[in-house]
Amino acid sequence: MTKPKRDYPVENIRRLLEPGPIVLVSSAWKGETNIMTMGWHTVLEFTPSLVGCVIASSNHSFGMIRNSGECVINIPTADMVDTVVKIGNSDGDEIDKFGTFNLTPAKASKVKAPLVRECFANLECKIHDTRMVNKYNFFIFKVVKAHVTPHRPLPQTLHYHGQGIFTTDGRKMNKAAGFTKWRDTATF
């Protein structure tokens, strides 16, 4: 999917992450880039737009993200499942993942880490709080810029269930009429 993307309000990224998609985290440090697959993340706040993620210290990306203070959270569509599996089962210190898996690094606006162009959403992130990194490998990022391919409804993503099993998004149910207490105004 290489349609042009639009800016997306960072306070609305819960619409992209709360459903629980597998994401690709890209990073750059000292002339090198890397990509990792990541499934342990949560939205933490609307404004500032905060996301918490577990990035295991055994991962090559861990040092690159901690040292650069930045990353991009890229959300792949369901058709990218084989690439997602390959990225998650290879080592960034052995191969160039962009080149090996035919992915396109695109220039970000506010961070040096590259966007993965083939993903439908790219969230540029800066480290906001590292207090939980040493104990839990848990980074708190602030989303400083978001790019999303206009698509209505949003495209199908991947959900990981362990044991090599993924599902896509299934049947959609609109229950907005019951939301009398909470409302959100994202319309894109």
Q: What are the residues binding its own copies (CB under 8 A)?
A: 12, 14-15, 18-21, 39-45, 50, 52-54, 78, 81-82, 85-86, 88-91, 129, 131-132, 135-136, 138, 140, 154, 156, 159-182, 184, 186-187
Q: Which amino acid is at 52?
A: G
In angstroms, the Cα distances linking 114 to 47, 95, 175 are: 24, 17, 37
Residue showing tokens 């970000």:
108
Q: Shortest Cβ distance from residue 95 to its own copies (Å)?
A: 12
Q: Shortest Cβ distance from residue 22 to its own copies (Å)?
A: 9
Q: Which is nearer to its own copies, 16 or 115 (CB)?
A: 16
What is the rounded distance in angstroms from the CA atom of residue 142 to the CA atom of residue 50? 5
Residue showing tokens 């959900």:
159
Q: Which is nearer to its own copies, 150 or 186 (CB)?
A: 186
Q: Is 52 helix (H, G, I), strand (E, B) or coil?
A: strand
Q: Which is nearer to its own copies, 6 or 109 (CB)?
A: 6
